Every structure is written in C-alpha cells, then in structure tokens.
Amino acid sequence: MRHEDDRLRPITDEEHLDRIARLPKVELHLHFEGGAPPAFIRGLAKEKKVDIAKVFNRDGSYAYRDFWHFLEVYEAATSVLKTPEDYARLCTAVLEESARNGVVYSETFLSPDFCGGGDVGAWREYLLAIREAAERAERSHGITLRGIVTCIRHFGPDKARRAALCAAETAGDWLVGFGMAGDEKKGKQKDFAWSFDLAREAGLRLTSHAGEWNGPQEVRDAVEDLGVERIGHGVRAAPDLATVDMLAEREITLEVCPGSNVFLGVYPTLKDHPIDRLRDRGVRVTVSTDDPPFFHTTMRQEYLGLAKTFGWDEEVFADINRTALDAAFCDAATREAVKKRLETA
Ligand SMILES: [Zn+2]
C-alpha cells in the first residue's frame, strides 16, 4: 500500500498525455444503447418521423437533469431503435466510435427487453443482426465485441426471468455473460437470484450493477446473493474497508466508470473519486465509460482524466488492461488474440 506522499504525480506534459490517450484499451462496461451517438439517434428519429427533440440540448447533445431523468431520456432516445436492422446500424456506429478511441476489446450490455420485448425468437434475430455488424467492424476496425445480456432492475424480477431465458437460449462464444442494470433504489439483488442461477447454469459469467448509488451492503449483496465475479461500479464500497478487502480477497473485478460517476454527481470531482484508493488497496479495478455520449465522455477522455488527476502512466494503464482482459468473459482464444493486439500496439 502506498503512503500519501508517494502517490504518483499528476501528468501534465502534453506529449506524454497524448501517448496515454492513444494507448489501446479494453472496456468491460458499455451499455449498447447508451453508446448511441446523438447524431445517429437524431438521424434515425428523422427517418422514422418520430419527434424526440426534447431529449436534446441546443448543441445536439443529450439533455437531462439527474440520474432518474437520465433514465427517462435514455428510454426516449432509444425508443427510436426498433428493428434488428436499427440495432445492426447502432452496432456499427458504437464500434466506430469505440475504435476511434483506441478500444480493441469491448463488452456491451444488451437487453432483450429492448430487443424483441423478451421474446426468445425475436431476440435471436436482434442478436444475429448485432453479431454480424460486430464481425464487420472487427474486420474493418480491429475491435472485438462480446455481449452480456442485462435484465433491468426497475422492470422487476418477472421481466428479468424472461431476459435470463433469452440469455440462456443464446449463450455461447459471442453472448458470454448475464448481468443487471437499472435503478439500484428499486428491489434487492436477491430478488433476481433465480435469473442469475439460470444464467450461471447456462454457462454465462455474471456481473451486476451495485454500489453506484447504494452503499457497501449493496455490493456485498451482489457478491453473496448472486455470486457475481464482477461488479458494475462498486465504488460506493470504498468507505467500508471490510467490504473493500472482501472484494480484493475474492478477486472481484470492478467495472469502474469514473466519468459517469462524476457527471451524475456520485462524486463532485474526479479527485474525490475512489478508483485510485481502491486500486491501491488491492481491488481489481478497470476503466469504462458506461454510456459515453450521455455522460460527455470517451475512453480517451477517461484515460486522460486519470493521468492528469492521479498520475496514472503507461505502466498503470497496461496493468488496468491486463486486469480487464483477465476479467473479460470471452473464451481463451479471443483473450489470447486481444492480448497480442495489446502487446504489439
Ligand atoms: Zn452501467
């Protein structure tokens, strides 16, 4: 553990920062619809003659007041995404943006609730269209994508069961995980145990959003009641060292999204964010964007912020990417291929 006086010094040199921004990156926490560039959504709305002008600011970015309003705007913006073809186009737009930011491997959260209303047959069609678009992007942009089905917590356990059934039916080399997103203030982790058990039995790896809004107990619940190996966010475990040490001991990986946390006011500034302290204490932390255009961030910006605030250099980011790739839900052959790309970049 480092002492306060041997913290890394913030990086200010522009050339050094530029090298850091250009590093190859592994991202584990990206909501598929949440990655939709606003221009893409606006274009789609226009084609479909749907008026969603109210979800945009004057400058064309997404507009909302807080997390709960964000959920509303998110649903309104993504309501124009209807068909498998829409999702294939979304996939192309999202991966082009990720590749531009140096991402070489990404896992994205997909919800059968939005893709076919929880119907397995319909879900298969969406999945096929997304997967084909992802394979095209892999050939043209050198970015690998894998999918994680997420149930939506505030939709309740019944809908989660349908999402889990869709996930179990399509589990394989591309659809590799199951998780939960949505409003942490609704229900308990254990209400969704049936769905997580089903997904585990189908061979899917598990993650759940916890400790973004609720405290350490929520993070413990996700680990103990659902048996997840990764946590979406988890940062609010930080004040409770017993929980932090549990995460380190059990080698739970946190999918940390610093820009998202600051934008939504979980922490006032990046300086107040616990990512550096958690890493220091031995927790496996990784870096992701969550819903990048909604939070006015990119993977490049995340890296730059961490370098400028905590002095994270190439060595730290190489370690972060090793941790992320190690915690990725893909098969061994994919992991090996991505590892080579990280090493040669
Ligand atoms: Zn998230």
Query: How many angstroms separate the Cα of 153 from the Cα of each of 82, 195, 258, 294?
Result: 21, 12, 22, 20
What is the predicted pLDDT for the residue at 8? 82
179 C-alpha vs ligand 1 centroid, how far in Å?
Answer: 10
29 C-alpha vs ligand 1 centroid, how far in Å?
Answer: 6
Which residues are known to be catalytic? 212
Order of strands across the sheet that contains 175-181: 25-31, 103-110, 144-152, 175-181, 205-210, 230-233, 253-256, 284-287
CA 176, CA 204: separation in Å to the nearest integer? 5
249 C-alpha vs ligand 1 centroid, how far in Å?
Answer: 24
Give me the domains of the chain, ranges plus CATH numbers: 15-36+84-344 (3.20.20.140), 41-80 (no CATH)
CB of 232 closer than 8 Å to CB of 182 = no
What is the predicted pLDDT for the residue at 252? 98
What is the predicted pLDDT for the residue at 4? 57
Q: Coil, strand or helix: which one is 107?
A: strand
What is the predicted pLDDT for the residue at 5? 58
Predicted confidence (pLDDT) per residue in 17-45, tens digit:
999 999 999 999 999 999 999 999 999 99
> What pLDDT tens digit does each residue of the chain (345 aa) get?
555 556 789 999 999 999 999 999 999 999 999 999 999 999 999 999 999 888 898 888 898 888 788 888 888 888 899 999 999 999 999 999 999 999 999 999 999 999 999 999 999 999 999 999 999 999 999 999 999 999 999 999 999 999 999 999 999 999 999 999 998 999 999 999 999 999 999 999 999 999 999 999 999 999 999 999 999 999 999 999 999 999 999 999 999 999 999 999 999 999 999 999 999 999 999 999 999 999 999 999 999 999 999 999 999 999 999 999 999 999 999 999 999 999 887
What is the predicted pLDDT for the residue at 140? 97
What is the predicted pLDDT for the residue at 3? 57
Of 259, 235, 257, residue with least CA distance to 247 = 235
DSSP 313: -
What is the predicted pLDDT for the residue at 6? 64
pTM: 0.95
Of 317, 260, 269, 310, residue with least CA distance to 289 = 260
Mean pLDDT of the chain, nearest integer: 95
275 C-alpha vs ligand 1 centroid, how far in Å?
Answer: 16
CA 212, CA 240: separation in Å to the nearest integer? 14
